[in-house]
């Protein structure tokens, strides 16, 4: 719904006043013409009852119409105030969007069958690492990022509805930082698990990144989830950001 602008309201009010003036002028002219027979030069005749009724009726019509115009003016004023408040709110949202921090995926990579070793021996691992970057204009504060790999069996649920819980999940070490400046990226955020732990059968595998941070100047908390679908074909695995 479009609200009238203040200039349009002023034009409408002027038109309303002209209409009321014209209507009142016509009524007065009509009454004077009707009274011409009731008054003679130097001699006053009694005003006929029917003329009094006409005068009362016209006065009532003018009053009703005046009340209607006043109500329309008040409504137009209220609409203008509402439109002004909406414009102010939209401008505030625009200002926040232009100045706030925006954390988004910068780069990511999947690596399979990576040889790792420690004092207990060696193993093959599946590894996913990711970096986020602040694409906004102010620092992202109190940043918290958790990444995980989830495997799902639907078992009667609608395909890819995700209304079921994962039957297997591997969670990475949580990443936290007090602030990420504009144009800066996080260090690599890892999720890894033994290649031998790959489930033999599953319907869907997702790499999920949960991000929370505060934006300036309101310090409002932003919570976002970035979901990657893991495509597996024979020995190849690749990620697709949804």
Examine the pLDDT at 12 and tell me if it is beyond 70.
Answer: no
Q: Give the least confident one: 13-27, 36-50, 69-83, 216-230.
A: 36-50
Identify the residue whose tokens are 């115009």.
Answer: 69
What's the whole-number mean pLDDT along residues 129-133?
Answer: 96
Which distant-in-sequence residues (6+ apart) come within 8 Å of 6 by Cβ?
80
Q: Pick 232 or 11 by higher pLDDT.
A: 232
Tell me the C-alpha distance between 149 and 168, whole Å: 8
What is the per-residue pLDDT for 2? 44
Q: Calculate the average pLDDT of the chain.
A: 80
Token reading at 213: 């941070």
Token reading at 25: 């002028």
Q: Domain ranges for the chain, please list them.
A: 6-99, 103-241
What is the per-residue pLDDT for 219? 81
Tell me the C-alpha distance between 133 and 103, whole Å: 5
Q: What are phi and psi of 28, to 5 degrees?
A: -65, -40
Q: What is the pTM (predicted TM-score) of this model?
A: 0.62
Examine the pLDDT at 220 and tell me if it is beyond 50.
Answer: yes
Contact at 8 Å (CB) between 132 and 189? yes
Which distant-in-sequence residues (6+ apart) come within 8 Å of 54 by Cβ?
31, 34
According to CATH, the topology of domain 103-241 is Immunoglobulin-like (2.60.40)
pLDDT category of residue 212 using cuts at 50, 70 and 90: very high
Per-residue pLDDT tens over the stretch 45-66: 566 677 667 767 777 777 777 7
């Amino acid at each position: 719904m479009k609200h009238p602008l203040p200039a349009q309201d002023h034009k409408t009010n002027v038109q309303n006043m002209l209409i009321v003036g014209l209507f009142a002028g016509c009524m007065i002219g009509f009454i004077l013409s009707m009274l011409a027979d009731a008054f003679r030069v130097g001699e006053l005749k009694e005003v006929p009852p029917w003329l009094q009724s006409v005068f009362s009726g016209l006065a009532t019509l003018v009053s009703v119409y005046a009340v209607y115009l006043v109500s329309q003016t008040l409504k137009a004023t209220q609409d203008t105030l509402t439109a002004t408040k909406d414009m102010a709110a939209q401008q505030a949202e625009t200002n926040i969007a232009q100045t706030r921090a925006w954390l988004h995926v910068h780069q990511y990579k999947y690596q399979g069958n990576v040889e790792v070793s420690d004092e207990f021996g060696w193993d093959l691992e599946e590894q996913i690492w990711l970096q986020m970057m602040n694409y906004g204009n102010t620092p992202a504060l109190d940043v918290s990022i958790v990444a995980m790999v989830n495997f799902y069996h639907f078992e009667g649920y609608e395909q890819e509805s995700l209304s079921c819980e994962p039957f297997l999940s591997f969670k990475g070490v949580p990443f936290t930082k007090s602030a990420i400046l504009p144009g800066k990226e996080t260090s690599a955020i890892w999720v890894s698990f033994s290649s031998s732990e790959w489930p033999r059968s599953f319907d869907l595998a997702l790499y999920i990144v949960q991000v929370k941070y505060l934006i300036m100047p309101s310090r409002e908390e932003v919570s976002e989830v970035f979901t990657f679908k893991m495509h597996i074909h024979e020995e190849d695995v690749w990620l697709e950001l949804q």
